[in-house]
Amino acid sequence: MKIMNQPNQQKKCGKHANFFPAPHRVFDDEVFRNQLSHADRDFYITLCHLSNRHANEDGWFRHIDGEFKTLNGKRKGFFSYGFGSTTCKRARKKLVALGLIEIKENPEKHGRTGGTMYRIRTEIWNIPIDQNSLKNRPP
Predicted structure pTM score: 0.71
Least confident of 12-26, 59-73, 84-98: 12-26
Q: What is the pLDDT of residue 92?
A: 93
Could you give the angle at which helices 38-54 and 85-97 cross, rounded to 10 degrees?
A: 90
For the chain, give every domain's residue range: 38-124
* Separation of alpha carbons 90 and 108, rounded Å: 23
- Whether 102 shows a pLDDT value over 90: the answer reads yes
Q: Taking the CB of residue 25, how many other CB atoms lie within 10 A of it? A: 17
Phi, psi of 17 (to 5 degrees): -75, -30
Structure confidence by residue, pLDDT tens digits, 12-52:
555 555 566 677 778 888 888 889 999 999 999 999 888 88
Q: Are 64 and 115 in contact (CB under 8 A)?
A: yes
Q: Taking the CB of residue 29, how many other CB atoms lie within 10 A of it? A: 20
* Separation of alpha carbons 88 and 91, rounded Å: 5
Between 134 and 1, residue with greater pLDDT: 134
